[in-house]
Amino acid sequence: MTAEDTYTRLDDDDYPAYTMGRAAEMLGTTQGFLRAIGEARLITPLRSASGHRRYSRYQLRIAARARELVDHGTPVEAACRIIILEDQLEEAQRINAAYRHAAESANPAAAA
């Protein structure tokens, strides 16, 4: 792997670049919190060859959203469920918009 490959991977939102300790520090939370949201299956960190959890920037954004909900009094399990439902709703809305766009493109007279 070249240095350029390494920099490219670090720009990838899905590249597991952060250790559990660093992720907890960045989020201002505990490693236990990260374990809890992992057990609730909100995020599944990759494991290094030695078995240590590694987190991506995308996963850290999800964890930050969970922490925000928990900080406002929502139990961890409920916060994880809320985030999962928000994600499913966003995906359904994206699919709906794509179908609407395809229908309008196929029949522009009906859209007017």
Each residue's pLDDT tens digit, 15-51: 999 999 999 999 999 999 999 999 999 999 999 899 9
- 18's CB contacts (< 8 A; 6+ apart) are 26, 54, 55, 56, 57, 60
For the CA atoms of 98, 101, 107, 108, what is the dihedral angle to 10 degrees?
A: 180
CA distance 59 to 103: 34
DSSP-assigned letters across all residues of 46-95: EE-TTS-EEE-HHHHHHHHHHHHHHHTT--HHHHHHHHHHHHHHHHHHHH
Q: Which two tokens stand for residue 89?
A: 């709703």
C-alpha 66: how far from chain center: 10
Each residue's pLDDT tens digit, 86-106: 999 999 999 999 999 999 998
Does the pTM exceed 0.85? no
